[in-house]
Structure 1
Amino acid sequence: MMKIVTFAVPCYNSSAYMKKCIETLLPGGEDVEIILINDGSSDDTGKIADEYASQYPGLVKAIHQENGGHGEGVNTGLKNASGMYYKVVDSDDWLDAPGMLKVIETLKQLINSGKNPDMMICNYVYEHAEDNTRHIVNYTNVLPENRIFTWEEVGSFKPSQYLLMHSVIYNTELLRKSGMVLPKHTFYVDNIFVFQPLPYVKTLYYMDIDLYRYFIGRSDQSVNEQVMIKRIDQQYRVTRIMIDSFSQLKLPDKKLDQYMLNYLSVMMAISSVLSVISGLKENLEKKAELWSYLKSKDEKLYIRLRYHLLGRISNLPGRAGRKLTVYLYRLLRRKYKFN
C-alpha cells in the first residue's frame, strides 16, 4: 500500500519524551511511515525505537547510526523514506493527531486527482514550558486556504511568520531532486531544510490547522539564547550554506525571491546580533567575516542585505549602536517569544 507521508523522527538521548511524540503519529495507520532514527544515543532511545518497530511492523522503522547530529538524522530519514511526502518531527515535539488525519486525507484526495502540491503548509504552536502558554503561528493573512496556489498568490510574511521545518511537508521526490544534504554535527540546519529546496517548489497548499506542537523552554534546548551563543560557529556555518545556495540565483518568481531574501536577512541578523550580545571581540570579528564572505560571494546580494532594514539594524556603528541593536532584539524576542 502506498504511504502518503513519511514522518522522520531524529532521536538523540530522547528516551524521556520520545514516546509522546511517537504516540501522536501512530493514528496515521497504514497511510504513514514512521522512521525513528537513533543517532548514537547512550540512553534507552534505541531500545524504545526497536520496541515500537517490533510492535508496529510495516508502520514503524528503527534505524540506528553513529552520532551525526540532527541534520544527519534528517538525511537518513530522507534516504529511507517511501512516503510521497516527507515531514520531520523532532522527538521532543508532537503533532495534533486529529489535525494530522485531516492533512493526510487532503493529501490522499490531491494525489488521487493528480494535483498533488510540491509543499503542504500548516500552522505550528509554540508550547512554552516556562509559563505554560501557547502561541500559534498561522498564515491566514498570507496564503490562500484549501487550494493549490503558486508563489505569485503569496502575500507578505510578518517577521514571526516565516516557514519553519515545523510548518512544512515536502514532496519527497522534490527534496531528493533539490540535492539538499544537511551537514553533520551542526545545529540550526532546519533553516537549510526550509530554504534550499524552495526554488524547486512551484505549487503549494495551505490548511489552517494547528498541526505541529513545538516544545520550547528546556535550558539545554538549541534555541536557548546562551546555548546559541556557545554554538555561534554553527550558526555561521548554516548561514554561509544558505548564502551559497541563494547567491547568484535568478528566480523567475519575484515573490519567492523576496521571501528568500527576507529569510536570509533574518539569518544574517541573528548571527550578527548574537555576536554583539556575546560581547566577545572574536565573535565581533566573526560577524565582520560573515559580511565580508557575503560580499565576496555575491556583491549584489550583499548590497540588498546590507541595506535591508534588518541589515541596517544589526550593523549600527559604535558601542551605542550595538546597545541599540541588542535593545531592539530584546523587544522582538519579548513580542514573538521565539526562544
Structure 2
Amino acid sequence: MGKLLTIAMPCYNVEAYLERGLDSLADERFSDDLEVLIVNDGSTDSTKEIAQRFVDAHPSIFTLIDKENGGHGSGINAGIAHATGKYFRIVDGDDWVNTDNLVLLLERLRTADSDIVVDVKREVDMASMQGDVVFLPEYVETGTELSFSEVCNREDTESCITIHTLTVKTDLLRSSGIAIREHIFYVDYEYIVKATSRADTVTFFPIEIYQYLVGNANQSVAAENWVKRYRHHETVVRELLQFDEENAFSAAIQAYVTRKIQLVINTHYNVLLIFDKDRKQGLARAKAFRTWLHERYPSYAELTDKRYRKALALHYFGVDAAKLGKIMGR
C-alpha cells in the first residue's frame, strides 16, 4: 500500500464542473497521504485535458486513468483495481470536497483501523450554491470504533451511510471480490450494500467532507431520468437480490441487507407507478415486475406488497413525482 486514502473520481463529460472538484483536492498538504484517481470514462468533451493539467501540476496527488466508456460502476471498479491507499472513497466529477476538513479526516484516518468510516456531506443547490449539511443522528457515537452489526439496524443510522459519506478499507473491497455492474446508472446503492455488508467495524466522524451538487435536471435521480432508465434501476434491484441470495450473513447484517433491498424495491415501485407520466405504461411495468418478484423472491414480494398497494393507490389518484415530493415534505 502507498497512500493513506485513495479517492476515485469517475468522470464523463464533466468539463463544466471538473476543475472545481480537482481544485478542492489540489492541496500540497495531501501530497503524502492522498491519491486521486481521475477515471475518464470515455468523455467526448475536454474532461481528459482538464484532468491532465492537474496531473502535470500535482503528480504526487493526481493520476489519470483513461478508459472506454463503461458507466459509473466501471469507474468505481477501475478505481478499486488501481488504488494504492489503505482506504478508498468516491467523489463524482461534478462534486467537490471541503479541503480543510479533508485534511482533518486524513489525520483521523492515520490512527483509524475500522473497516468503514462514515462522515458528513453537504447538499449544495445548483442554482443558489447554498447548501445544508446532512448531520449524523445525535444518538450516533462518534470518534470511536463500533461493531457495525450492533449499529447498522439502530433507528435510521444506515440512512447516513451513502456513497458520499463512505470510506472503505481497500483490502476489504478486494478480498470480498466486490464488483459493480457496468454500463448502467443507479449503481451507487449497489456499491453501498455490497461494501458495507462485509464490514465488521465502523467509525463515525462528524466532519463535513463531500459537497454534493443537487438540482441538476440532468442528474440520474431526476424523475424523468428514473423513468427513462427504469431498466437500469431494475437491473440494480435484481443484482442486489442475487447478491443476497448468494451470500450468508449474520442475523444482524441480514436484517440490514434485507431492509436496504426492501427500500430499493419500494423506490422501484415509485418509479413505475408514480414517476411515469404514461400511467398505462408504468402500471404494466409495475405489474410485470411484481409478478416476477412473487415468483422468484416471494419473501421480498411479501415485504414490499404494502408499498406496492400504496404506490398503486397514488397512481390511480394521479399523484406524480412533484406531488409526491410535496407529500413527503420535500
- Confirm or deny: 8 A CA contact 2:279 2:315 kept in the other structure: no
**Aligned counterpart, 1:13:** 13
**Aligned counterpart, 1:74:** 76
**Aligned counterpart, 1:304:** 303
Looking at structure 1, the residues matched to 177 and 214 of structure 2 have their Cα atoms a distance apart, in angstroms, of: 30
Looking at structure 2, the residues matched to 318 and 129 of structure 1 have their Cα atoms a distance apart, in angstroms, of: 30
- 1:228–1:4 distance in 2 versus 1, CA, 3 Å: same
Looking at structure 2, the residues matched to 179 and 37 of structure 1 have their Cα atoms a distance apart, in angstroms, of: 20
Deviation for aligned residue 1:223: 1.4
Structure 2 letter corresponding to 1:331:
K
SS of 2:164's partner is helix
> TM-score when scaled to structure 2?
0.90
Deviation for aligned residue 1:149: 0.2
Looking at structure 2, the residues matched to 211 and 242 of structure 1 have their Cα atoms a distance apart, in angstroms, of: 28
- Residues 86-139 of structure 1: CA deviation (Å, up to 9, x unaligned): 1110011111112111111111112xxxxx011000111111123544232222
**Aligned counterpart, 1:113:** none
Structure 2 letter corresponding to 1:258:
A
- Name stretches of at least 5 consecutive residues in structure 1 with no aligned partner: 111-115
Structure 1 letter corresponding to 2:324:
Y
Deviation for aligned residue 1:219: 1.8
SS of 2:249's partner is coil
> TM-score when scaled to structure 1?
0.87
- Confirm or deny: 8 A CA contact 2:137 2:157 kept in the other structure: no
- 1:317–1:73 distance in 2 versus 1, CA, 3 Å: closer
Deviation for aligned residue 1:148: 0.3
**Aligned counterpart, 2:63:** 61
Deviation for aligned residue 1:248: 6.7
CA RMSD of aligned residues (A): 2.4
- Confirm or deny: 8 A CA contact 2:136 2:160 kept in the other structure: no
- Residues 48-103 of structure 1: CA deviation (Å, up to 9, x unaligned): 22222222223211111111111111111111111111111001111111211111
- Confirm or deny: 8 A CA contact 2:6 2:84 kept in the other structure: yes
- Confirm or deny: 8 A CA contact 2:31 2:60 kept in the other structure: no
Structure 2 letter corresponding to 1:205:
T
Structure 1 letter corresponding to 2:135:
N
**Aligned counterpart, 2:131:** 134
Looking at structure 2, the residues matched to 37 and 122 of structure 1 have their Cα atoms a distance apart, in angstroms, of: 23
Give aligned-pair identity as a percent.
23
The range that moved more, 165-174 or 275-284, is 275-284
**Aligned counterpart, 2:150:** 152
**Aligned counterpart, 1:169:** 167
**Aligned counterpart, 1:330:** 325
SS of 1:61's partner is strand
- 1:332–1:189 distance in 2 versus 1, CA, 3 Å: farther
**Aligned counterpart, 2:215:** 217
- Confirm or deny: 8 A CA contact 2:123 2:214 kept in the other structure: yes
- Confirm or deny: 8 A CA contact 2:145 2:203 kept in the other structure: yes
Looking at structure 2, the residues matched to 239 and 212 of structure 1 have their Cα atoms a distance apart, in angstroms, of: 26
SS of 1:195's partner is helix
- Confirm or deny: 8 A CA contact 2:219 2:225 kept in the other structure: yes
- Confirm or deny: 8 A CA contact 1:261 1:305 kept in the other structure: no
- Confirm or deny: 8 A CA contact 1:243 1:294 kept in the other structure: no
- 1:130–1:269 distance in 2 versus 1, CA, 3 Å: farther
Structure 1 letter corresponding to 2:84:
S
1:196 paired residue among 194, 197, 203: 194
Corresponding pairs, count: 324
Deviation for aligned residue 1:333: 5.0
Deviation for aligned residue 1:152: 0.9
SS of 1:165's partner is coil
Looking at structure 2, the residues matched to 157 and 142 of structure 1 have their Cα atoms a distance apart, in angstroms, of: 10
1:247 paired residue among 245, 252, 258: 245
- Confirm or deny: 8 A CA contact 2:266 2:304 kept in the other structure: no
- Confirm or deny: 8 A CA contact 1:6 1:85 kept in the other structure: yes
Looking at structure 2, the residues matched to 303 and 177 of structure 1 have their Cα atoms a distance apart, in angstroms, of: 34
Deviation for aligned residue 1:40: 0.9
Deviation for aligned residue 1:290: 2.4
Deviation for aligned residue 1:324: 6.0
Looking at structure 1, the residues matched to 67 and 322 of structure 2 have their Cα atoms a distance apart, in angstroms, of: 43
1:231 paired residue among 213, 229, 232: 229
Would you say 1:43 and 2:45 are equivalent positions? yes
Looking at structure 1, the residues matched to 128 and 47 of structure 2 have their Cα atoms a distance apart, in angstroms, of: 28
- 1:289–1:56 distance in 2 versus 1, CA, 3 Å: same
Looking at structure 1, the residues matched to 87 and 131 of structure 2 have their Cα atoms a distance apart, in angstroms, of: 28
Deviation for aligned residue 1:179: 2.1
Structure 2 letter corresponding to 1:200:
R
Looking at structure 1, the residues matched to 251 and 120 of structure 2 have their Cα atoms a distance apart, in angstroms, of: 24
Deviation for aligned residue 1:326: 6.2
- Confirm or deny: 8 A CA contact 2:262 2:303 kept in the other structure: no
Would you say 1:119 and 2:119 are equivalent positions? no
**Aligned counterpart, 1:26:** 26
Deviation for aligned residue 1:44: 1.1
Deviation for aligned residue 1:15: 1.5
Looking at structure 1, the residues matched to 122 and 236 of structure 2 have their Cα atoms a distance apart, in angstroms, of: 24
Looking at structure 1, the residues matched to 272 and 33 of structure 2 have their Cα atoms a distance apart, in angstroms, of: 45
